């Protein structure tokens, strides 16, 4: 019997909330724990938030249907009428309640970051992090959740696109939001960042202009989830401070393969403050365990049609398969008296601190290990605010961050229609809440006592303030002096040096992708003068060759000379290139296996076993759903058929041998296109035995395959002889580790 008779894919890794060995067993083991004990701040651990959410979870299994007020319902399919053909009656309270609730199910979507998803997990500090000149994390900050390597602090993370509406596609060219809520013993800390370390503007007062420019144009409401239109590039071309960010958005960073395969950044400079009151500037970084991987532009367009939920689905799938996304939290630390040594202002959100100048110190890891039970309740109602700070962390005077401190609180009032948004379960802190805020729409808490003011004598002046020595939050007492003005520091005026640094740091392939992106983005514009300003005033002050290549693709005269503000440096920062962040792992990658009846099960199992051993997944793709019959008579389950999938959904493609199977694949155009498209997108592809014949249908250059021996060239791995199966598997795994093979020449491949 073939292996596929008894096993096809990992079935044991199911959602924790439904796993008999998950929360429910844990609750049974802790049956004596009271609700008060579970909310005690000293008891915060990785599953504390889930226990808190259990108090509001509802499960209808085995229950009877009721109204919102608990009245059992006998019939929910027919409204109450005066006779079979008569009018609906006003005393049908069930119909009115059911319809009213439906009519009010939606809340206002976010103005930006509307399209998103999220997951639960935990953060755990490292036992002995490399802090360079600092002996201990307590020397840097008194933030409690960063201190104890044995403590796991619950987190909820929301990933998002920025520009598109809630129903837009996941794979658009855009910044990705990366917002993390830490449910710490000292209250909630929200690190509300992006997958890019800089932003378009330096001052928050420009944010409404930026968003109005990049959103669909107001006359026809086109385009959706795209910056490729005149109003955005008109704004950008007249706002040179956006140049650095524009290059990031035109780069592969704007097309992440998956949320687990992108970095995160706090963007702004923050402060760490220790017990002695010493402050240091820090920049927050999230470093992904699975490395940095991207899609290519052609893929993103096709995925948006085949599966607009691609990134959302991938996040859920990996977690529920037990391969948990993971990041390291790191900081760049700058002493206050060293902040002036840079040739830029660290308060400028359009600038980075190169990692080669100030290394990222890894403080701990974050693991996402549970998907939400209800998307609306947990993801849509998750509300973040940069002003949610804990002792030991403070904000800087970054003018964009300062504006966000107001804006996020204000936007939650609009979305929730109430100041009580912090009482929504997903937003509620694990630390106990006691204050004199009262009432308002949808208040949940029942506040006991007769006083709601301070000072008071009737309740012995409770709740009382907490001194700093006992954990009370105290803002860093920065000395501030100056005139009341609307100006920016002179150091904010250099808009091109770091844009050039970014460009210089990229590989040839990454630079080619930016040029191609300019051809699409600017090629969509109707106004010639806007195209010219972008090329002549922005790109030509970053790199002359970039400006020339961009101009050649959009129908404007290339500039003859470099721009007047072109920086006089050729500096590079290798950390900015995605190719330098490749990791030797295939963990969480997904491989498509093209097969039909008669597939060689030995070839199939050899590759599947290697993938499974490395926590990669696979799907059998065939002409129709159901099962295939292997060459040994065993049954092979089919995961996807060609109408619902394509090579764009996978990281690699494998074609196993089997004369009958390969003949069937060659007999239709879909498998050939599937393979050719993967080759065109420079993904790893492999074939064994008769499967190598499929390469002959896609006009591959002869140098890439051999008719009689094992070959591996530019990620194309071919093993015509079964004698080299083990070597093939090793070479194929190595090819998958590289993700893309940019050196591959695919000019003549038809896809």
Which residues are catalytically annotated? 113, 194
d(CA 342, CA 147) in angstroms, rounded, equals: 30
- b/e 330-343 (16+ beta carbons within 10 angstroms → b): bbbbbeeeebeebe
- Helix (H/G/I), strand (E/B), else coil: 64: coil
Is residue 225 within 8 Å of residue 174, measured between CB atoms? Answer: yes
DSSP-derived secondary structure for 506-547: S-HHHHHHHHHHHHHHHHT-S-HHHHHHIIIIIGGGT-HHHH
Closest CA to 576 of 351, 746, 419: 351
- Any bridge partners for residue 155, and if so which? 121, 182
Q: What is the 3-state secondary structure (H, E, C) of 169-188?
A: CCCCCCCEEEEEEEEECCEE
Assess contact for 567 and 500: CB atoms under 8 A.
yes
Give CA–CA dist 734/616, Å, rounded.
13
- Spatial neighbors of 484 by CB under 8 A, at least 6 apart, are none
- Report whether 264 contacts 285 (CB < 8 A): yes
Do residues 229 and 490 lie in contact, with contact meaning Cβ atoms separated by under 8 Å? no
- The stretches of 277-381 forming alpha helices (DSSP H) are 297-306, 310-320, 375
Which are the contacts of 209, defined by CB distance < 8 A and separation ≥ 6?
235
Q: Which of 453, 546, 452 is nearest to 504 (CA)?
A: 546
Q: CA 319 to CA 370: how far, in whole Å?
A: 6
Overall size of the chain counted in residues: 751
156 pairs with which residues across the strands?
120, 181
Distance CA 147, CA 236 (A): 43
| List of residues 6+ apart from 370 with CB closer than 8 A | 15, 16, 17, 50, 119, 120, 121, 319
Tell which phi-psi region holds residue 221, choosing left (phi > 0), alpha (psi between -120 and 50) or beta: left
Tokens read off for 230: 């005149």
Tally: H helices and E strands in the chain: 20, 19
Q: Which two tokens stand for residue 524?
A: 């969509």
Alpha-carbon distances, residue 404 vs 25, 127, 187, 248, 408 (angstroms): 42, 33, 20, 22, 6
CA 499 centroid distance within chain: 24
> Is the Cβ–Cβ distance between 152 and 143 less than 8 Å?
no
Gap between the Cα atoms of 306 and 567, Å rounded: 43
Distance of CA 75 to the CA centre of its chain: 44
The angle subtended at Cα 424 by Cα 153 and Cα 375, nearest 5°, is 80
CA torsion angle for 9, 11, 14, 18 (degrees, to 10)? 150
Give the start-end residues of each E strand in 214-345. 264-265, 270-273, 279-288, 326-335
- Which one-letter DSSP state was computed for residue 72? B
Q: Which residues contact 197 (CB under 8 A, 6 or more apart)?
A: 265, 267, 283, 285, 352
Pinpoint the alpha helices (H) of 204-264.
207-214, 230-237, 243-250
């Amino acid at each position: 019997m073939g292996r596929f008779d008894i096993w096809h894919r990992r079935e044991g890794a199911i959602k924790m909330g439904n796993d008999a060995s998950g929360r429910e067993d844990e609750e049974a083991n802790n049956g004596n724990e009271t609700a008060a004990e579970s909310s005690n701040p000293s008891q915060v651990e990785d599953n504390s938030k889930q226990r808190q959410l259990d108090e509001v979870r509802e499960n209808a299994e085995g229950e009877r249907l009721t109204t919102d007020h608990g009245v059992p319902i006998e019939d929910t399919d027919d409204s109450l009428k005066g006779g079979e053909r008569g009018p609906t009656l006003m005393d049908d309270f069930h119909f009115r309640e059911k319809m009213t609730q439906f009519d009010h199910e939606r809340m206002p979507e976010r103005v930006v970051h509307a399209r998103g998803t999220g997951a639960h997990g935990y953060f755990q500090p490292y036992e002995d992090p490399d802090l360079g000149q600092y002996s201990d994390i307590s020397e840097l900050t008194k933030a409690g959740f960063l201190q104890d390597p044995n403590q796991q602090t619950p987190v909820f993370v929301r990933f998002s696109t920025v520009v598109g509406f809630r129903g837009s596609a996941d794979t658009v060219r855009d910044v990705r939001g990366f917002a993390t809520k830490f449910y710490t013993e000292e209250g909630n800390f929200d690190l509300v960042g992006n997958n890019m370390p800089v932003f378009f503007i330096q001052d928050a007062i420009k944010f409404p202009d930026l968003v109005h420019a990049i959103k669909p144009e107001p006359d026809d409401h086109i385009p959706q989830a795209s910056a490729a239109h005149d109003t955005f590039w008109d704004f950008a071309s007249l706002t040179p401070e956006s140049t650095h960010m524009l290059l990031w958005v035109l780069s592969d960073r704007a097309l992440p393969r998956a949320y687990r395969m992108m970095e995160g950044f706090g963007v702004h400079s923050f402060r760490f403050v220790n017990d002695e009151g010493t402050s240091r500037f820090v920049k927050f970084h999230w470093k992904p365990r699975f490395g940095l991987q991207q899609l290519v532009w052609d893929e993103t367009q096709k995925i948006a049609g085949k599966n607009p939920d691609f990134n959302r689905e991938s996040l859920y799938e990996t977690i529920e398969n037990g391969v948990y996304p993971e990041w390291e939290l790191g900081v760049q630390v700058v002493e206050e008296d060293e902040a002036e040594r840079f040739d830029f202002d660290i308060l400028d959100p359009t600038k980075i601190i190169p990692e080669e100048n100030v290394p990222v110190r890894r403080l701990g890891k974050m693991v996402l290990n549970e998907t939400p039970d209800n998307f609306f309740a947990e993801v849509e109602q998750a509300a973040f605010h940069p002003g949610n700070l804990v002792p030991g962390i403070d904000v800087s005077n970054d003018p964009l961050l300062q504006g966000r401190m107001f804006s996020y609180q204000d936007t939650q009032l609009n979305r929730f229609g109430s100041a009580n948004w912090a009482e929504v379960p997903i937003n509620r802190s694990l630390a106990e809440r006691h204050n004199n805020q009262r009432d308002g729409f949808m208040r949940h808490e029942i506040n006991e006592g007769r006083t709601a003011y301070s000072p008071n004598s009737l309740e012995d002046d409770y709740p009382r303030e907490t001194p700093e020595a006992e954990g009370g939050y105290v803002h860093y007492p920065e000395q501030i002096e100056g005139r009341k003005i609307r100006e920016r520091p002179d150091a904010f005026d250099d808009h091109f040096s770091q844009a050039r640094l970014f460009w210089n740091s990229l590989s040839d392939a990454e630079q080619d992708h930016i040029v191609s992106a300019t051809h699409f983005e600017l090629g969509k514009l109707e106004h010639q003068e806007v195209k010219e300003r972008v090329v002549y005033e922005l790109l030509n002050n970053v790199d002359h060759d970039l400006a020339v290549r961009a101009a050649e693709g959009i129908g404007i005269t290339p500039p003859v000379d470099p721009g007047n503000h072109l920086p006089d440096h050729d500096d590079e920062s290798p950390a900015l290139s995605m190719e330098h962040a490749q990791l030797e792992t295939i963990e969480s990658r997904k491989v498509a296996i093209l097969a039909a009846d008669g597939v060689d099960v030995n070839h199939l199992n050899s590759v599947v076993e290697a993938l499974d051993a490395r926590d990669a997944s696979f799907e059998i793709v065939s002409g129709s759903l159901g099962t295939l019959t292997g060459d040994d008579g065993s049954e092979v389950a089919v995961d996807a058929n060609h109408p619902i999938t394509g090579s764009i959904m996978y990281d690699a493609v494998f074609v196993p041998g089997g004369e009958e199977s390969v003949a069937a694949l060659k007999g239709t155009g879909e498998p050939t296109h599937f393979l050719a498209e993967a080759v065109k997108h420079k993904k790893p592809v492999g074939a064994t035995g008769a499967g190598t014949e499929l390469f002959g249908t896609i006009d591959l250059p002869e140098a890439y395959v051999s008719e009689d021996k094992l070959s591996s060239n530019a990620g194309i791995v071919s093993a015509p002889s079964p004698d080299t199966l083990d070597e093939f598997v090793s070479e194929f795994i190595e090819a998958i580790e590289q993700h893309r093979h940019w050196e591959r020449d695919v000019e003549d491949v038809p896809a």
